[in-house]
Amino acid sequence: MALEIDLHCDMGESFGIYSLGNDQAMMPHVTSISVGCGFHAGDPHVMRQTVALAKEHGVAVGSHPGFPDLIGFGRRKMHISRQEAADYIIYQTGALKAFCDQAGVALQHIKPHGELYQMAWHDDDLARGILEGLAVFRPTPIFLALYNTLPYNLARQMGVRVAGELYADLDYLPDGTTTIKKKHGAVNVAATVDKVLKMVLENKVATLDGQEITVQGRSICLHGDNPRAPELAQALRRELEARGVKILPLHAQSFA
Amino acid sequence: MALEIDLHCDMGESFGIYSLGNDQAMMPHVTSISVGCGFHAGDPHVMRQTVALAKEHGVAVGSHPGFPDLIGFGRRKMHISRQEAADYIIYQTGALKAFCDQAGVALQHIKPHGELYQMAWHDDDLARGILEGLAVFRPTPIFLALYNTLPYNLARQMGVRVAGELYADLDYLPDGTTTIKKKHGAVNVAATVDKVLKMVLENKVATLDGQEITVQGRSICLHGDNPRAPELAQALRRELEARGVKILPLHAQSFA
Amino acid sequence: MALEIDLHCDMGESFGIYSLGNDQAMMPHVTSISVGCGFHAGDPHVMRQTVALAKEHGVAVGSHPGFPDLIGFGRRKMHISRQEAADYIIYQTGALKAFCDQAGVALQHIKPHGELYQMAWHDDDLARGILEGLAVFRPTPIFLALYNTLPYNLARQMGVRVAGELYADLDYLPDGTTTIKKKHGAVNVAATVDKVLKMVLENKVATLDGQEITVQGRSICLHGDNPRAPELAQALRRELEARGVKILPLHAQSFA
Amino acid sequence: MALEIDLHCDMGESFGIYSLGNDQAMMPHVTSISVGCGFHAGDPHVMRQTVALAKEHGVAVGSHPGFPDLIGFGRRKMHISRQEAADYIIYQTGALKAFCDQAGVALQHIKPHGELYQMAWHDDDLARGILEGLAVFRPTPIFLALYNTLPYNLARQMGVRVAGELYADLDYLPDGTTTIKKKHGAVNVAATVDKVLKMVLENKVATLDGQEITVQGRSICLHGDNPRAPELAQALRRELEARGVKILPLHAQSFA
């Protein structure tokens, strides 16, 4: 069976008068987006507009819930309880789902943002809270998570459809986790394409310290604040398709 | 056909460490509640708990969206656009609906809070924005509004099921609108029961300046911060039922 | 005596990860700035950095307090009481003053932002609340206000030093007030310089409907989000100085 | 020389419509208060009122800055940088100081709140950030901190006047730190007085696990949400004075 890969970007991170990212330029090149839900970024107006833009381009939509920390963009560690994690996922995703309903698009997936995504790698309670929040929605959204992390494995155990996320433009550590960058510099497109091809076709990626580790994933995450991101997305699509990989949103992929 | 009346209370207005209202004491005595959604009051934790408590008592749930003004409790006039009104209704109600889905209860109605409720009496754009927000949800929630006001009449024209709200413990002005009280003092239960009976059975209410005007409604609003509110609710139920009025949540009432 | 004019720009309007304006580029060209204080824009980090940058360039600092409405950037009308206005001015200006103390610069002035600035033109309570807030600080800051408006005239009656603000890049209405633009387009530098020269040297400005009205002011407001703002500032300085006008921050000007 | 002890309570923790604590009842019985500054609790209106009430009773005022986490009441761990800590202390304390200036009372001290207080026990960067913020104010406020903790010792090294805080109604751990209680139940007044007398007169306190450790302090912290707190405060004052201890606010105590 042909490999299937989703091209994915976090969007809807503007707030009020403040503009962030490059959603207009990236939308034509991706198959899925994760939309900020008003806690770490995004507001009701931005959410509506982002979902409408996705629909216009036939792009699948997921929620991107984060910590209630706008000033820190959800990138500061906060210690919340399992119940709070569930409640925050439900609140934010529920709000986004209403905009999806308005636009007539499905809620494809949930992908926690920033430190809510990262802290759960090492916090069983947090991971469980996130998945309890996800379980509220029908049809159950796909869980977008980093391969082989605690929440990824937990979701698999629970029978939740989970999609591994591959980072085109972040560095990998030996344990398979990645480093957040405050700002994503200009990427080397050719080198990044090579890295992604290796991740997708050989399930291998080089770590920062020169090792090679196994990764699996259905979704390649691109960062829209990178000025060459649209170019990178186009190159990835072209090179992946040239090798027989199908570029498909998560909901159109085959889950065993 | 017998008259049908809903007993209703705004709930879920606590926030974080802050407690407001008397939800535990009032819940057994009402048939519907409107739940704060995090903008003027309420937070994800409070929303989940409030919906769960309603389910436990078989009480119907609606959303109570307000202005994004926690410090002013949504009781300060803010000039927002029609689009912003729609977006705020969608965001807040969507968040609440997710907690309803979690608890397995329906989203019965939408009732805007405070100045979002009141400013719409005199602002066609605001009224339309609110109703555009309401129209997103399926099944379409009942719109809870003050009789004969602009949003009430607009909803009827649009074919939305609208329920008139009758205020047991607020004063009426000659134009049929009511005055918000910052704090609801101890009510005279007997006098309030008489007032409500007259509203329900004769469709009449005395105004502050001694006139008598026509009112219609399916829902009697009680305020839980009134220490005698539980007693009042019980007396209303008893006296209304004694006169053949059925006490029913809005969703169980007959809409022509 | 030579005319004295302050060149002024609103700054420090970034928030968290969000960047707004062009403070680095404009700072060398102005003599005073008004700094966002965290309610409608700005955060503690941005405030500290902005004050430090002003100090580096020898630019005078004032506070720019606004409504507690980050999502609306303080540009939505909110109805607050006189006491709330005073409290908001005190809170925000007090916070900024601490950063001024840290940097060793004086708090030169207070200029309300957005609708807090504009609503006071027609609201005596609001104007009085603002001035009650200003009166708390020592030495009493200069009040930066639009010429001949209610708060401007009230400040004069109260003996507060008040500086008229002249808008280089906003349109004037026949009553002497101006219109807020959501976004400031590219200006015609030559035409704007002519307009300002006329305002400063002849105390006249053309209104949108072709009349000519009297204006007075000590401070010319420029908007940093205009891409040609640095060029405009330089041209204004050059042309004003060529006509014998001294470019001086407000605190260095002579108040009768 | 006679021992000198401050009786102290956290106040000004109400927010908007939400009331917390029992400031009116406690104010007559204390010599100092720490006032919430709007991040974890408190708002501009509450701050003004609280400072005014303190002035009325001749009670000394300090700031009680916390994490920007209203929903979590500043009691959730947040990982902020040293610079952010300094900025938050400066912003919040500056805001409070303006209300102190308005009322004509001095800013006596700074006491971080909740997890900003507690995390600094084990985080050198956080402790330094807090003290960098404190150093901005003139005259330099007293630093109120738990005896022998990292920030306490750091302040002493830096030559900052630091006052040890003794907790009448919290349990001590063997390392000299205390446990936060979400809610403070009714205290046993007699037992608490005995505990405090021992802390003040013998510098000893029993820990949860039955050890006895050394403590030193100039300020006894009482919690106003305890219904017997006023009674406890009166008993403490009486018993301490009976043993020759002077009850004095921190600013009136002798610092070597």
Q: Of the candidates B125, B127, B162, which has an alpha carbon nearest to the alpha carbon of residue B142?
A: B162
> CB–CB of C79 and B80 under 8 A?
no
What number of C-beta contacts closer than 8 Å exist between B and D? 29
**Region A129-137 average pLDDT:** 98
With beta carbons less than 8 A apart as the criterion, state whether A59 and A30 touch. yes
CB-CB contact of B10 with B223 (8 Å)? yes
Quick one: C60 exposed, middle or buried, by C-beta within 10 A (0-12, 13-18, 19+)? Answer: buried
What length is written for chain A?
256
Residue given tokens 């994933």 in the structure block: A217
Taking CB atoms and an 8 Å limit, are D73 and B16 in contact across chains? yes
Q: Which residues in chain D touch residue B18, judged by CB atoms under 8 angstroms apart? A: 15, 18-20
Chain C residue with minimum CA distance to A73: C17
Burial tier of A80 (Cβ tally within 10 Å: 0-12, 13-18, 19+): buried
Angle at which helix B44-56 crosses helix B82-103, to 10 degrees, equals: 50
What was the pLDDT predicted at A235?
96
Of residues A167, A178, A107, A116, the one with CA closest to residue A136: A107
Distance CA B86, CA D27 (A): 46
**C225 HSE (CA, 13 A, CB side):** 15
Per-residue confidence band for B184, with pLDDT thresholds at 50, 70 and 90? low
Question: Between D20, D41, D71, which is nearest B43 by CB?
Answer: D71
The structure tokens listed for B59 are 């009480």
D98/C93 Cβ within 8 A: yes
Mean pLDDT of chain C: 95
CB spacing of D44 vs C87 below 8 angstroms: yes
- Return the closest-CA partner of residue C232 out of C173, C179, C169, C184: C169
The residue behind tokens 């969608």 is: B90
Average pLDDT over residues B11-22: 96
Contact present, A73 and A39 (Cβ < 8 Å): no
Tabulate helix, strand, coil % of chain B (nearest 5).
40, 20, 40
Q: What is the 3-state secondary structure (H, E, C) of A206-244?
A: ECCCCCEEECCCCEEEECCCCCCHHHHHHHHHHHHHHCC
CA distance A238 to C173: 56
Tokens (6 digits) for C15 = 């928030």
The pLDDT of residue C151 is: 98
CATH architecture assignment, domain B4-252: Alpha-Beta Barrel (3.20)
The ranges assigned to domains in chain B are 4-252
Q: Is D65 in contact with D39 (CB distance < 8 Å)? A: yes
Q: Which residue has the tokens 């010319």?
A: C220
Kindly give, in sequence order, each residue whose CB lies less than 8 Å from that of residue C186, ignoring residues fewer than 6 positions away.
Answer: C226, C227, C228
Interface of C with D (CB under 8 A): 38, 44-45, 47-48, 83-84, 87-88, 90-99, 101-102, 136-138
Beta carbons of D77 and A76 less than 8 Å apart: no
pLDDT per position as a tens digit, C70-90 = 999 999 999 999 999 999 999
CA distance D20 to D41: 9
* DSSP code of residue B170: S
Tokens matching residue D248: 């004095």
Percentage of chain D surpassing pLDDT 90?
88
What is the per-residue pLDDT for B87?
A: 98
State yes or no: pLDDT of D59 exceeds 90: yes
pLDDT tens sequence across D212-255: 999 999 999 998 878 889 999 999 999 999 999 999 999 999 99
Q: At what angle do helices A189-202 and A229-242 cross, to 10 degrees?
A: 40
Kindly state the tokens that stand for B23. Answer: 């939800």
Tell me the per-residue pLDDT of C215-239, one tens digit each, with 9 for 90 and over: 999 999 998 878 889 999 999 999 9
Record: contact A98-B83, CB cut-off 8 A: no
Nearest Cα residue to B171 out of B157, B160, B181 = B181
> DSSP alpha helices (H): ranges in chain C?
23-26, 44-56, 82-103, 114-119, 124-134, 150-157, 189-202, 229-242
* Closest chain D residue to C92, measured at CA: D95
Coil/strand/helix, residue D59: coil
> In this complex, which of A44, A91, A137 lies closest to B90 when CB atoms are compared?
A44
Distance from C-alpha of B9 to C-alpha of B17, rounded to nearest angstrom:
22
pLDDT at B169 (0 to 100):
83
